[in-house]
A and B are shown apart, each in its own frame.
Chain A
């Protein structure tokens, strides 16, 4: 229990308007070391995603010579060569794009789909809420990896970023819908919404300028926390051979290619695994920091 006394209340400067939730959150964020670390890591990953050519010269497919198979590190090849004599460093750099792309696009799709369904269910209520909630339960009851495997196995010729994003989003949206529905329900009956309605503000206007801004914080927290999970999902699917096509050199398929070498060349597994784990770690840390900053209950 905080028993800070009246001193703190007296110290408040009443001439300044209170900072908004967002400004307050921003101030809290930049003060957290874990956020700074995560932000720097994510900036690097995003830079690598957008401009892989800046970090590794050469194409991941050219410059593979069987003679350099399992070759150790040498000048210009800091991580050595893989089973087919390709430069490991170049492959790792080019593996960032599919992972980050799938993660970000899935997050946006889930925000859009889950957000819309959740807002509709919470706002309208009644039978529409019942139907949409049950629909969410149906997709929630089937484990995402299983559903994605079954579906992607039947679409092997058409697999690609869009397909993987759509299938993950199709089974991941119910969580976002539940969060949004809860947030909208909480705001719907707030006094300021009743006041706005009494003033004759239109339904659409209330939804856009009162309900959504208040529901945005939990939605953003859920979205950032899940981003890392989506990257793991893509890697898992590619690892199992049913995710992105092998020509995209996703980290998941690189790990899958190296898994048979665990007894003889374990370092082959290490590099793509480390790249994947560090990227996911950065996004999970970002999600953590954002939650702590936006959630008034998470006082530290």
Chain B
């Protein structure tokens, strides 16, 4: 196991460096003058421009810029944004909201997906199963932003059950609708994954044995079918947490949530390079770490994996 962990962690190093280099190049290695962008339509004094360039190391060759930035990251320094604030402050301001939103989405998809999927899998081929499958198709096919507008128009504007947008009020109640929208596609995947897995396990020999020895139906489902079926589901949920945080850009925009996605979108549009690279880097890190944890959990559960 120790050998497997070491190998898996070592593999992350080139991926992290490659991914950050790629993002850095997409932000800083493109035509266009970030200094001019900072000043908008106004004229920039060449002297001032040179000073700012030096301050942000923009006068150095690209690879030096990247190495200086990477060195900072390893010391916990995420650089200074074009507005003069440390990027880490901007991150700290928006991160809690997105983490809360993503966790709510994760809980929703785990509960709804597993419950609906398990019932569908146990009643394969009946009306509940068919309805759940059609529902999952719809959840996958309706794009996030369409789902968002649909719920805003019906639940928010018409029925007035939940607030239409979030704004400064990031309470659980106002985040409920955006969390569902963010989770909608994943709910469908969890539902299908659970359904297939439960239906497969329900026919396994060990379930037949459990029934034959006289175990009650509830016990068989809970202790034998569900426990064995949830391993792939837990894997999916783990990896999805990272994806949810990265995917929050559209949801946060529609519902006006002051989170990472919104901040990142504004930074991209306004050409605030340092903010963009550091926010994306954190998202990449979260994604890589959740994948790592899931892989290690999986290896702990299934000895065949660490032997390969």
Kindly state whether residue A194 has any CB partner on chain B within 8 Å: no
Tell me, yes or no, whether B70 is within 8 Å of chain A by CB.
Answer: no
Q: Is the CB of A141 within 8 A of B268?
A: no
Chain B residues, Cβ within 8 Å of A149: 249, 265, 268
Give the total number of A-B pairs whose CB atoms are below 8 A apart: 118
With A134-B15, A149-B268: A141-B288 Cβ-Cβ less than 8 Å: yes
Which residues of chain A have C-beta atoms less than 8 A from B243's C-beta?
Answer: 143
Q: How far is the CA of A235 from the CA of B250 in the complex (A)?
A: 11
B157: contacting residue among A145, A263, A285, CB under 8 A: A263
Interface residues of B in 1-47 (CB under 8 A from A): 11, 14-16, 18-19, 22-23, 26-27, 30-32
Alpha-carbon separation in the docked complex, A148 to B76 (Å): 27
What secondary structure prevails in chain A residues at the interface with B? helix
| Chain B 223-241 interface 0/1 with A at a Cβ cutoff of 8 Å (1 = within) | 0000000000000000000
Q: A240-B265, A280-B143 are in contact. Are A143 and B26 (CB under 8 A)?
A: no
The reply to whether B153 and A146 contact each other, CB–CB distance below 8 Å, is no
Interface with B: A52-60, A150-158, A200-208, which one? A150-158
B146 at the interface (CB under 8 A from A): yes
Please name all residues of chain A whose beta carbon is closer than 8 Å to the beta carbon of B246 when the two chains form the complex. Answer: 143, 145-146
Residues of A within 8 A of B146 (CB): 255, 273, 276-277
Q: Is the CB of A142 within 8 A of B144?
A: no
- Partner pick for A236 among B31, B143, B268, CB 8 A cutoff: B143
Contact A142 B153 (CB under 8 A): no
Determine whether the beta carbon of A154 is less than 8 Å from that of B23: no
User: B53-61, B79-87, B134-142: which one contacts chain A?
Assistant: B134-142
Q: Does A259 lie within 8 Å of B149, measured CB to CB?
A: yes
Least CB distance, A222 to chain B, in whole angstroms: 15
Known: A1-B205, A135-B18, A255-B146. A142 touches B23 (CB 8 A): yes
| Complex CA distance for A239 and B147, rounded to whole angstroms | 13
The reply to whether the CB of A212 lies closer than 8 angstroms to some CB of chain B is no
CA distance A109 to B153 in the complex (A): 37
**Interfacial chain B residues near A276, Cβ < 8 Å:** 143, 146
Q: How far is the CB of A126 from chain B (nearest CB, A)?
A: 15
Question: Which residue on B lies nearest to A232, using beta carbons?
Answer: B143
Q: Which residues of B contact A153 (CB under 8 A)?
A: 268-269, 271
Counting chain A residues whose Cβ lies within 8 A of the other chain, the interface size class is: 35 or more
User: Does any Cβ of A come within 8 Å of B287's Cβ?
Assistant: yes
Given A142-B280, A145-B247: A262 and B149 interface contact (C-beta under 8 Å):
yes
The reply to whether the CB of B163 lies closer than 8 angstroms to some CB of chain A is: no
B12: nearest chain-A partner, CB-CB: A137
Question: In whole angstroms, how far apart are the Cα atoms of A150 and B243 in the complex?
Answer: 17
Interface flag for A281 (CB, 8 Å): yes
A288 within 8 A of partner (CB): yes
Separation of A1 and B200 alpha carbons in the complex (Å): 10
Complex Cα distance A135/B18, Å?
Answer: 8
- In this assembly, does B276 line the interface, its C-beta being within 8 Å of a C-beta of chain A? yes
Q: How far is the CB of A91 from chain B (nearest CB, A)?
A: 17
Instruction: Tell me the complex Cα distance, A277–B138, Å.
Output: 8
Q: Looking across the interface, which residue of chain A has its beta carbon closest to that of B192? A: A288
Residue among B31, B153, B203 facing the most chain A CB atoms (10 A cut-off): B153
How many chain B residues touch A (CB < 8 A): the figure is: 49
Contact B247 A150 (CB under 8 A): no
Residues on B with beta carbons closer than 8 Å to the beta carbon of A235: 143, 145
Determine how close the nearest CB of chain B comes to the CB of A273; give it in whole angstroms.
4
Interface membership of A125, Cβ < 8 A: no
| B288 partner residues in chain A, CB cutoff 8 A | 141
Q: Does A138 contact B (CB under 8 A)?
A: yes
The minimal Cβ–Cβ distance linking B207 to chain A, given in whole angstroms, is 10
Q: How far is the CA of A259 from the CA of B205 in the complex (A)?
A: 54
Find out whether the CB atom of B284 lies under 8 angstroms from the CB atom of A142.
yes
Chain A residues with Cβ below 8 Å from B152 are 262
Partner of B247, one of A142, A143, A259: A143
The answer to whether A262 touches B203, judged by C-beta atoms less than 8 angstroms apart, is: no
Compute how far the CA of A264 lies from the CA of B143 in the bound complex, rounded to whole angstroms. 22
Q: Tell me if A269 is interfacial: C-beta within 8 Å of chain B.
A: yes
Nearest A residue to B31 via CB reads A154
Q: Chain A's nearest CB lies how many Å from the CB of B296?
A: 16
Contact A239 B145 (CB under 8 A): yes
Q: Mark A15-53, 1 if CB is under 8 A from B, else 0.
A: 000000000000000000000000000000000000000
Question: B264: CB under 8 A from chain A?
Answer: yes
Q: Is the C-beta of B215 less than 8 angstroms from some C-beta in chain A?
A: no
A266 within 8 A of B: yes
Given the known inter-chain contacts A134-B14, A240-B265, please indicate yes or no for A141 contacting B284, CB distance below 8 A.
Answer: yes
Tell me if B268 and A150 are in contact (CB < 8 A): yes
Q: Residues of A at under 8 Å CB distance from B?
A: 1, 134-135, 137-139, 141-143, 145-147, 149-151, 153-155, 228, 232, 235-236, 239-240, 255, 259, 262-263, 266, 269, 273, 276-278, 280-281, 284-285, 288, 300
Query: What are 16 A-B contacts defined by CB distance under 8 Å?
Result: A137-B11, A137-B15, A138-B14, A143-B287, A146-B264, A150-B276, A232-B144, A236-B143, A239-B145, A240-B249, A255-B145, A266-B157, A269-B153, A277-B142, A280-B142, A284-B137
Starting from the known contacts A143-B287, A154-B26, A154-B30, 8 additional A-B residue pairs (CB-CB under 8 Å) come to: A1-B203, A138-B18, A143-B246, A143-B247, A151-B26, A228-B141, A255-B149, A263-B157
